[in-house]
Structure formats: structure tokens, C-alpha cells
Structure 1
Amino acid sequence: MAQNQENRTEISAVKFNGQDFKYLRDRCLRRGQLFEDETFLPVNSSIGLQLLQKKNLSQSPKWMRPTMDSSRGPPFFILETASRFDIQQGNAGDCWVLAALGSLTQNPKYLHQILPWDQSFSQQYAGIFHFRFWQCGQWVDVVVDDRLPVWDQHDYLFIRPCKDNHEFWPCLLEKAYAKLHGSYFHLHYGYLPDALVDLTGGVVTTLKLPSSSSNLMLMVKTAAQAGSLMACNTLGQTCQDCEMDNGLVSSHAYTVTGAEQIQYRRGKEDIIRLWNPWGHTEWKGSWSDGSQEWQETSDHRKDQLYKNKQDGEFWISCQDFQKNFNCLFICNRFPISLNHENKLHGSWSKMMFENQSIVGNPADGLWSDPQYFFIVREPMKEWNVIVSFTIKPQSLPSTDKENPLNFQVVKVDSQVWNTIALSSLLGFSHLGGVCGYPAKGVGSKSKCNLTQCFHLNPGTYAVVTSTSREVQFLLRIFLKVSDIDRKLDNNLNLTRVQASLPEIGFQPSVFQRYSQQGMNIDASQLQNLLNQELLKELPGVMFSLDECRGILALMDVKVNGLLDQEEFKRLWERLVNCQHAFQNTQRSPGVLLSLDLRKAIENTDFLIGISVSRELLDLMALRYSDHTGRISFPSLVCFLMKLEVMAKAFHNLSKDGKGLYLTEMEWMNLVMYS
């Protein structure tokens, strides 16, 4: 099996149902058995009785492994590369998933996060495969066996492997996604934004059609250059999934695979390329396969663009696209937008509030009303705030088709904000009755995602939520970064969570500017660097010299009182992680309370696997918070880093993992220089 080795990305993922792929595969290989998934059995309930009835399937299908089907030749997981043309929709109405997946295949970086390459039908084959999906702020690894429902011996009930390549990655991925949702029936009709988010962890921008032709084409091209996923859906007709006279399918999802301006007659015409997850059934109008327009164009790129194949992919004029389609969905890790000059304006900061919940009793009408605050600092001419909610699917009944969550963005005046800040310092989680006029936004709503874009003037704002049932959710607030802020960001400014933050690391030029002859940094130089480069946007918040001495000692591997470039790089990686933890834990901007220390630990990647007792948390709250119970960012950094070093020191020194023996000198050296 040939595989593209580029852009492999290892991501940490939660094991769905507690199933560990490598452990289960290795156990099967040792026993000489093929894996049978006891959590998603080959029975009708895994398909869904409602779906079997809808498709008039009176007899139960058989479940076969691809290796048992000798009529097609040997199976492959992926042959050379994964392509949208490997996908051919079956009997489930999951075009909303497959259209998103078709777009995913055009972005190898995203695709490799979903399709781990450590699996095949040849090497270490044990009948087990796994896939990753993004669920409400975390990646989830889903294991499946390769038994697939088959009708009439060789007719696969759902995604069908293509005859010419016999690849099974789409079939198995569909099964894993069905398992995640409970059954194949739960994939039968859904929302494109939900699938786009589940495959990327991104945010969806929705363009309602019709839209300005020039802006639409520019947006599509810009999004494609940024590696965004793009999909769209047709207008609803009297029936779903019905082929219309023009060749399009009603209430159906398509992948957007390209956009070009082409020479035509004496002018130019904008055309958009789409792909139908059915793998056939194409548009019959202008610029379709075999149309007169392709015969008349003199564009030198004709042979490159035009392929007359029955593969489900076709070109359509921008005008016809806007007439026949309802919405265009663009998904990226960070929002894709154009500024007032129609240029890419993609620098955003992000606030994240994970594992949030609204609880209450619908009988008495009493619900919690969590509120989330953010500050807009600079006036802008375009959308400058995007608020995006993602509901945890497990908190919604499977029968629900609607999103129960609503919210408003309200401007908060300075007097109210001062009261809110004091409330947070005293330990109150929210303040009821925030007053103000709701801001108007534009956006979209699906079963699990609710996103709106706003154009807000400078000021402090509150996101006020409401719901008709108990829900758990992730809230992300994206704030557009001004030109001034972008210049600051080039100098290691970490006061905001940037789109590229996890990848930027440290810049050697900055290290050398503060170090001794470009070689080492002492505590005083470290203090200057952190305060001038890390906290320049937070007046009144500073790392003290004593805090920097403690941080240096924790990172000082050579024990010489200095940090070299490699040691500082390790420190910077932890500072980035501490910034994420602080942002994800704070109750309002800049406010982290001592009672949230456990949550801060849970939000810190380098502390995974380290447990802390309630007694220790109480002691640390006394040690690192001020008299109001507030913990500053520098104090949080000192606490989190010392917790890591001390926990690792114990495990390195302990012979049995239960205790350790140290001489007095060893003990004093350990606890005093840290």
C-alpha cells in the first residue's frame, strides 16, 4: 500500500468506549484472531430499524469482511492516495458527511489527522481499524472491526468501494462515524456544518446565496488557497434526494473543489467546480460535461480543467450556482474573511471555554445563565468578532434534530463591568441581569453548532446564553487582530492565543537579543525578556526577579544558573501551554481564581497523568493566590511548572512508585534549588 508520508500529524485523542487500537490489534495478532467489536455489533440495531424500513429492506443484510469478498480482488485501505473519487454514497442519506469528507481529501494535513496510517489489509492486519473525529474541543479515536453490511452478497449497503481500486477507507470511516453517533440511521440526514467541524475542529463561515458574484468567486479562491474545506447544498424541493431535470439533486450536499475565471467568447466567465457524493449524476446546464460552452472556449487551460467523465464532478457557472444552491459553507481552523479591500484578512485571536454547561429545571423555568466576557479594542470596517458554540452530541437526545441553544451578545458599560470584575474576584461564577442592547449578527445554526459573525465597536461585551434543555458545550470567541497587534505578534507576543501559536515556538533572534553573546540567559535577562515580549500588553502584570529565578532553576538542566537556547526552547513551549491553560480556565479576561486550579491543571498538556489531592490544591491556593483568591499569570506559570518538575523527580527517584529514600544532602539539593 503506497502512502503519502508528508504532513503526518500525531494528535492526542480520547479513546472512544475506552478502546485502545494498538492494544486490541496486538492482542488479536498474538492470538491469531480477527477483531470483533462488541460495542458495535453486526446486527440490525447498528444500522437502525428505521433506516431499514425507509429503504424497504425486508431481509437483514449480511456482514462481511472485505477479505471475504473474492469477486473484486484483494482489498486495500488506501491505494496510493485518498481521493474524493474513492467515495460512492450508498443507502444512508449521509451526503452531508461525504461532501465534507470529499473536501477533506483535498487537504492532506487535515486528512492525516482523521486517517491514521498505521493500518492496512496487508501489514499487521487483524480486522481492526480506527479513525479520529473532533468532538466539542477534543479528538476522539474510534475503533471498528471491518465487518460491513452487504446486500445480495456483493452489494454494499452503504458506501460502496469503487470497482477500479477496491479501497475501503471510506466504508470503514463511515462505519466509525456511525458508531460515534450510535447507528447508521443517525447519519441519515444531517447538517453540513456539523460534519465539517467534526472533521477539522474548525469554525464554519456561511455564505447565504445568492451573493455578489465577484465577492463569491474571490471568497472561494481565497478559501481554497488557505486550505479550507468547502461544501454547499441545493435548495429543498418536494422530495429529498430527487434528481431534477437539470441533473442536480434536491436537498443534497456537494463538495466545492475549485473555481476559475475562463475565457469565453469575447469575455470571461466565472465557473465553479462541484462534486456529487453519489459518484455520478451531474449538472446538465451550462459548462456541464459535454456542453457547448466547452466547445466554444478558447482558453488555453481547457485540457487541464475539462474532464468529460461520469465521476460526479462538473463545472457550473457562478450565476447558475447561485440560482440553484442555498448556502456555501467554508470551514477552517480560524475564520476566513476578506477586508474592505477584498484581501485576505485572517489574523484572529481566540478565547475558548471548554466543558461548559447550562443546567436547570424546565418545570419551574429556572436555568443557569452563564455569561462570557470579551473586549473589542480597535474599531474595524469588517466583521471583527465570531462567536461559535459547539454542543456535545451526547448531551442531546438522539431524536433531537434542532439545536436548543441560543445566545445574545450584549455590550456592557464600564460601571456594570467593574461590578462583574469584583464579583469574579469574590468567587461568583456569573452576574445575573446583564443589561444592554443585543448586537445583531449574521450566521448559521445546525444541530450541534451555532455560529454568528458580528461587527462590534470597541468596548466590553457579554455572551449571554439561553436554552430549553440541559446542554454541555464548547464556546469559542474569535477576535480579529488589528494591524498594530499583528506587528506585535511578530515579536513573540503571547497575550492572545494566535492561529499559529502552537507551531511558532520561539524565535532565536529574540533569544539572542536578551542573552549573553547569544549563548545564555540568566534570571535578570529572563525577567526582561518575559516582561517585554510576553506581557507587554498586560499593564501591571509582571514576572518578578524571584519568580524568574525559580523558573530558571526548574529548566536548568546543566545546573549552572543559566539557560541556553535549547533549555529556553523547552521553557517557551511550556509558557505557550500555560497561556492556553490560563485562557481556557479564566472566568473573565485576566481573572483566574484559586478555586479553579484543578481545572487549570486539566487544561495543561504537560501535566497529563499527574494527579493532585484536594489538600495539595488548598495549600497551592494559599501559596500562589493573593488575598482576594486571584492567581496571576506569572504565579500560575510558577505553579504549573514546579508541579511538573516535582512529580517527575519523584517518579525518577522512586524505585517502586510508592516512596523514595534520599540522604539529607540529596533532599536539600532537590527542594532548595527549584
Structure 2
Amino acid sequence: MSGIAAAVQHRREKNQGIGTNSQAVKYLNQDYEALRQRCFESGRLFQDESFPALPSSLGFNELGPNSYKVRGVSWQRPTELTSDPEFIISGASRTDICQGALGDCWLLAAIASLTLNEEVLARVVPHGQSFRDGEYAGIFHFQFWQFGEWVDVVIDDRLPAKDGELLFVHSAEGREFWSALLEKAYAKLNGSYEALSGGSTTEGFEDFTGGIAEVHELSRPSPHLFHIIQKAQSRGSLMGCSIDITSSADSEAVTRQKLVKGHAYSVTGTAQVEYRGNMEKLIRIRNPWGQVEWTGAWSDDHRSEDGEFWMSFSDFLQHYSRLEICNLTPDALSDDSVTKWALSKFDGSWRRGSTAGGCRNFPNTFWTNPQFVIRLDEEDDDPDDGEAGCSFVVGLIQKNRRRLRKTGEDMHTVGFAIYEYCGQRNVHLNRNFFLRHASAARSETFINLREVCSRFCLPPGEYLILPSTFEPNKNGDFCVRVFSEKQCEGPIHQRTAPELLLQKDGSGKLGLVEFKVLWTKIEKFLNIYREKDVDNSGTMSSTEMRTAVEEAGFSLNNALHQVLVARYSESDLTIDFDNFVGCLVRLETMFNTFNTLDKDNSGNIELNLLEV
């Protein structure tokens, strides 16, 4: 199926609810129930050929086939490792998760946080899975959020082991396997176990919830941070905090006031109480260990520790380094009393030579990046939050970059800018706009993480979001999400093919009249070509091609421009005059044909097989 046909099919499925958590997309078209039933009928345990029990599933470098780290590794089912395996024993808990020989502690911290919210956990770990007779067939499944849709990932239960023990994640007591199987499903989704090495807890938060995670550095907190935490709590957001370590020796070191460095805590509540004539801001924190509690001011001072304690907000800012808030999507919580975010989502791509313009340091190409427009209509309801305007969070996520690690690629350095905009809505803004206007807001930095996320508060109005890589000509796919307190309008699509301006007097036949028309157009194209060939090289760059095509009367969207560059440019992204003319003539012919078939000017046509 072509890219365009696949996109149309994907939109239809999305309109039917496919991709929601309740109707997750079947990853690699594997149907869990059908495969499980087939195993029961055949009397054989499931073997997943799409993620085989082979070295290739372990990794490509440090865990590659020739690495000493994988010597002696065998793939064994839980029934071969213990006589009485269990999927989950007495509910999922943090003690079910112990790290193995893989640097994915970021993932395990996110899994541990999942266990604190049963409703969110059930979206990732579907019920009804076990090792009991009559239910066990060697097949399990888990659900993950991936760039705007939920996918259902099927695995067999053959796990990498060495000397009779699991090589990677395992439970503390050895009989519980849900966490090891969850890790395997996530490894399959990302191509291998090694692809999971190194990452951010927020990445796991998002893939397990579909939420958008923002990070607050407590060394330079927002003046409204306490209010932000209160609002996050009212929306059911997941919140965690931690203390940075300065060396490996600091990891899980306990301070004099019994706080643990390099350890993930959960933020579970806030309060404001009157104390000595002043209002004191308090924050409630939980240590997932269930013990080792803060002994400073406002601590409970009980001998029996339960891991949860209060501390003043000022002490919190002084002792902790970082706060992470995972804002959940509107469908994540069933509690109607919880205030929910409004969500808008945009998908796009950067393509070398056409839509990968780099950051604003490259003014000649910056404008060619994808552009998305949102409209913020209503200010926030809360008059006491200290911010006048519309609050919203923007997250830019790079798609599928972990899967590319085995080819030597990794995360791009990415960021975004936001411009106040008022004008014709379906027009891709050109170079002149960005030379004359400063951004209204932008991501705090360009960074090589999967997601760049920032919180903003701007007056009502229309805004253009422009995501980019730091350097131009970097290929990649991405999605932009906007979480707003009020529903914002978006996406605004760029002008589509049926809206393009075309002359209608060229038939393509070489009669005398038609030849004169064609010759007139070629002369026009030649003048445009010479004007845009500013360096007199005899060729045009792909960026110059875009402005030349627009001057010829075609206002193309990004998808069409990507196709033209791929079809008509050379390997060095230059276009000669012959290809330029061929491109324009082909465009006009195609859209004249479209307009002829679009008899009712609806912007849509239906073709039979012969017409195609």
C-alpha cells in the first residue's frame, strides 16, 4: 500500500475508534485472542516468529551476537525456571521489579510508578492472563501508547536467562513474571532489548499512559509551581520527584534527614495550613520502599514508617532537584470529578531537501519546516493562579528513533518555536514572515531527547507552532501534542491539492494553439527559474524550487513538496531546468484532470479502476 493510501486508511480506522486503549492497534497484525485459541486447538505453546528467541532480539552491539555478555544465554519459559510461576501475586507492586543486566532503570522507574495507580496499570497490563491450567498457552500481551495511538503487543513467554536466572528484569522473590514479560513486549516494540538502554523516566511515563510529561528543575522553579502541582493533582496527573546524585557512590545514599538520593519518590498531595499566623504550603511525598522517611519539619515523627510524609514546600524546593508531572489524556481516568485536559495532536515529518529546514539559525530554510496553527479562545478559569491568559503544554516527540539505533542513528536534537499569527489560515508562511517577526514563545532548549516539552501561558489568539531539528536536512517523523486547560482549535491543515490555483488552457496536445500556450508557459517558467537561480549555477536548490513553484501558481502543502523533491531532484538536492519544467507541466496536467472529474466542485472525486 502506498504512503498516501496507507494514510487514508489510517484516518478511516482512527475515525472508527481504532487506536484508542479499548480498541488498540494490533502490532504487526498479531491478534492475541486468535493466536491463543490456535495454540489451544493445536496443543502447542506459542512461539513468536516476529521476535524470535535469537541473539538478534537481544541486541546489536553490547548485546550483539558476538558480545561476551550474551555467552551462555538461553531462552526459557517461566514454567522451566520454576515449578509454580505466577503472572501477578496479590497485585502488582514495586517489589516485583528488580533490574538485571540492562541499563533500563528509567523504564523500571516508570513501571514502578504504574503500580501506584491500578486504573492506569490495567490499561497497560490487561486482565485475564495467567499460568493456570486451561488459561496458559505460552502467549501474553501488553498495550503501549505510541505517538498518538495505543498498540497491542503480543509476545511468547520465552525469556533470556543465564545459569537458570533471568538476565534482565525479575521479581524479588522469583515466581512473579508480569514485569519481565512487560519488559520483553516493550523490547519487541523498540526492536531489541539493547534498544532500551538509556532513557528518561518521562519517556516510560508517556508510553504507559499516553500522557505528556513535563519536567521542572527545582533549582529555578516557576513562581507558580505550587499552584501547578495543585492543578496537576486535581487532574489525576502522575507526579514524581528525585534528588540528583553527583557520583555513583551517591546512588541511593541516605541523607541526614533520611531522604534517598538518586531515588524516585511519588508526590501524593498538597495542603495549605495556618501556622503561627501565616499560611504554610505543604506537600505530601511517598517513598515507594514503604520506609525511610523525612525527619525534618512537618514529618509525622512516628516510629512505624509507612513511607509517606509531609514537608514544607520550601524544604521540598531546597532538598529535591527535580519534579516530573505526567499529565494524563482525557480518556485515561474514568472519574468524572477529575478536571481533565483538552488535547490536540498534529503529525508531521522532516525530509531532507524539502521540509527539514533546521532551526532559526538557518533563515533561508527555517520557514520550510512543517507549520501548525492552533487557536486559544478562552482564558483560564482560575483567577488566583497568578497567570492571566491561556495555559497550555506543548510536547514535540520524535517517532521510532530507538528502532534506528541498530543502524547507527539515534535521537535528533530538536525543539520548537511559537509565533503569534493572524492572517490567511491555510497558507504556509514564507521566509519573510520569520525574518520580520520574533517568536512569542519557544522550547527552553534544543536537545537530543525523544521529547521536548514546555509549559506556556499566552493571551487568547492564533498561534503557529513550528517544530524543527537543530540542523537542516535531518530526516525524521514526529508528532506535536498540545494539552490546554480549555479546548483549543486545531489542527489547521495547509492548502490541499484541489485548492491549488491552475490555469485551464493547456490540453497537452501539440496543435498550433496548444503549442503557443505551452511555449508561453515555458518562457514564464524560464524567467522564474532564472530569478530563483540566485547563484547562477544553472540549477536550483530544493528550497529555491519551493518558492519557484509557488510563483508559478502552485501553493503546495508539505506532503506534495516532499514527493516532488524525491521525484525531480538529483542526489545533491538540485533541480535542473528540464526537471523543473517537467514538474510544473505534470502538476498542471494532473490537477486539470482532477478539476474535470470534480464536477460538483466538492474537492473530492471517486475513480473506477479504468480511470485510475
Tell me the TM-score normalised to structure 2 length.
Answer: 0.63
Instruction: Give how far 1:369 is off.
Output: 1.5
From the superposition, tell whether residues 242 and 42 of structure 1 become closer, same or farther in structure 2 (CA, over 3 Å): farther
Q: Name 1:438's counterpart in structure 2.
A: 439
Q: Name 2:507's counterpart in structure 1.
A: none
**Residue 253 of structure 2 aligns to a residue in which SS?**
coil
Alignment of 1:417-428 (within 5 A): 417-418=423-424, 421=426, 423=427
Please say if 1:179 is aligned against 2:85.
no
Please say if 1:353 is aligned against 2:346.
yes
From the superposition, tell whether residues 203 and 84 of structure 1 become closer, same or farther in structure 2 (CA, over 3 Å): same
Please say if 1:156 is aligned against 2:166.
yes
Contact kept, 8 Å, 1:370 with 1:430, in 2: the verdict is no
**Residue 74 of structure 1 aligns to a residue in which SS?**
coil
Give distance in 1, aligned partners of 2:229 and 2:455: 18
Structure 1: gaps of 5 or more residues: 1-8, 336-343, 424-428, 486-495, 498-582, 597-613, 632-638, 644-674
Give distance in 1, aligned partners of 2:46 and 2:284: 44
Give distance in 2, aligned partners of 1:400 and 1:283: 42
Please say if 1:307 is aligned against 2:301.
no
Give distance in 1, aligned partners of 2:159 and 2:327: 32
**Residue 23 of structure 2 aligns to a residue in which SS?**
coil
Q: Name 1:519's counterpart in structure 2.
A: none
Please tell me the residue identity of whatever aligns with 2:78. Answer: P
Give distance in 2, aligned partners of 1:200 and 1:620: 48
**CA deviation map 1:631-669 (0-9, x unaligned):** 9xxxxxxx9xxx9xxxxxxxxxxxxxxxxxxxxxxxxxx
From the superposition, tell whether residues 433 and 363 of structure 1 become closer, same or farther in structure 2 (CA, over 3 Å): closer
Contact kept, 8 Å, 2:236 with 2:338, in 1: the verdict is no
454, 458, 468: which one pairs with 2:456? Answer: 454
**CA deviation map 1:264-293 (0-9, x unaligned):** 9999894543446xx69x757636xxx996
Contact kept, 8 Å, 2:300 with 2:310, in 1: the verdict is no
Instruction: Give how far 1:98 is off.
Output: 2.1
Instruction: Give how far 1:233 is off.
Output: 4.0
Q: Name 1:76's counterpart in structure 2.
A: 86
Alignment of 1:390-405 (within 5 A): 390-394=397-401, 397-398=404-405, 402-405=411-414
Q: Name 1:587's counterpart in structure 2.
A: 493
Please tell me the residue identity of whatever aligns with 1:371. Answer: Q
Q: Name 1:93's counterpart in structure 2.
A: 103
**Residue 152 of structure 2 aligns to a residue in which SS?**
strand
Structure 2: gaps of 5 or more residues: 1-19, 331-336, 381-387, 501-589, 607-612
**CA deviation map 1:530-554 (0-9, x unaligned):** xxxxxxxxxxxxxxxxxxxxxxxxx
Please tell me the residue identity of whatever aligns with 1:239. Answer: S
**Residue 108 of structure 2 aligns to a residue in which SS?**
helix
**Residue 393 of structure 1 aligns to a residue in which SS?**
coil
Please say if 1:46 is aligned against 2:57.
yes
Instruction: Give how far 1:225 is off.
Output: 4.5
Give distance in 2, aligned partners of 1:182 and 1:450: 23
From the superposition, tell whether residues 173 and 357 of structure 1 become closer, same or farther in structure 2 (CA, over 3 Å): same
Instruction: Give how far 1:139 is off.
Output: 1.2
Instruction: Give how far 1:409 is off.
Output: 0.7
Please tell me the residue identity of whatever aligns with 1:66. Answer: P
Give distance in 1, aligned partners of 2:402 and 2:600: 36
Please say if 1:470 is aligned against 2:480.
no
Give distance in 2, aligned partners of 1:321 and 1:80: 33
**Residue 410 of structure 1 aligns to a residue in which SS?**
strand
Contact kept, 8 Å, 1:272 with 1:321, in 2: the verdict is no
**Residue 40 of structure 2 aligns to a residue in which SS?**
helix
From the superposition, tell whether residues 625 and 172 of structure 1 become closer, same or farther in structure 2 (CA, over 3 Å): farther
Give distance in 1, aligned partners of 2:342 and 2:271: 33
**Residue 268 of structure 2 aligns to a residue in which SS?**
strand
Contact kept, 8 Å, 1:403 with 1:449, in 2: the verdict is no
Contact kept, 8 Å, 1:96 with 1:192, in 2: the verdict is yes
Q: Name 1:65's counterpart in structure 2.
A: 77
**Residue 34 of structure 1 aligns to a residue in which SS?**
coil
**Residue 455 of structure 1 aligns to a residue in which SS?**
strand
Please say if 1:203 is aligned against 2:109.
no
Q: Percent identity?
A: 31
Alignment of 1:359-370 (within 5 A): 359-361=351-353, 368-370=368-370
15, 24, 28: which one pairs with 1:17? Answer: 28
From the superposition, tell whether residues 262 and 172 of structure 1 become closer, same or farther in structure 2 (CA, over 3 Å): farther
**Residue 458 of structure 2 aligns to a residue in which SS?**
coil
Alignment of 1:548-563 (within 5 A): none
Instruction: Give how far 1:112 is off.
Output: 2.0
State the superposition RMSD in angstroms.
4.5
**Residue 40 of structure 1 aligns to a residue in which SS?**
coil
Q: Name 2:327's counterpart in structure 1.
A: 332
Q: Name 2:377's counterpart in structure 1.
A: 377
Contact kept, 8 Å, 1:100 with 1:229, in 2: the verdict is no
Please tell me the residue identity of whatever aligns with 2:371. Answer: Q
Please tell me the residue identity of whatever aligns with 1:13. Answer: A
From the superposition, tell whether residues 245 and 401 of structure 1 become closer, same or farther in structure 2 (CA, over 3 Å): farther
**CA deviation map 1:567-591 (0-9, x unaligned):** xxxxxxxxxxxxxxxx55x415xx7
Q: Name 1:4's counterpart in structure 2.
A: none
Instruction: Give how far 1:134 is off.
Output: 0.9
Please tell me the residue identity of whatever aligns with 2:306. Answer: K
Instruction: Give how far 1:83 is off.
Output: 2.9
Please say if 1:28 is aligned against 2:46.
no
Q: Name 1:238's counterpart in structure 2.
A: 247
Give distance in 2, aligned partners of 1:349 and 1:26: 40
From the superposition, tell whether residues 68 and 275 of structure 1 become closer, same or farther in structure 2 (CA, over 3 Å): farther
**CA deviation map 1:96-117 (0-9, x unaligned):** 2222222223333322221122
Alignment of 1:530-541 (within 5 A): none
Contact kept, 8 Å, 2:99 with 2:168, in 1: the verdict is yes
From the superposition, tell whether residues 234 and 46 of structure 1 become closer, same or farther in structure 2 (CA, over 3 Å): farther
Alignment of 1:235-274 (within 5 A): 235-239=244-248, 242-244=251-253, 246=255, 252=262, 254-256=264-266, 258-259=268-269, 270=282, 272-274=284-286
From the superposition, tell whether residues 370 and 58 of structure 1 become closer, same or farther in structure 2 (CA, over 3 Å): closer
Give distance in 2, aligned partners of 1:292 and 1:379: 36
Give distance in 1, aligned partners of 2:151 and 2:201: 19
Please say if 1:138 is aligned against 2:131.
no
Give distance in 1, aligned partners of 2:263 and 2:59: 22
Give distance in 2, aligned partners of 1:149 and 1:173: 13
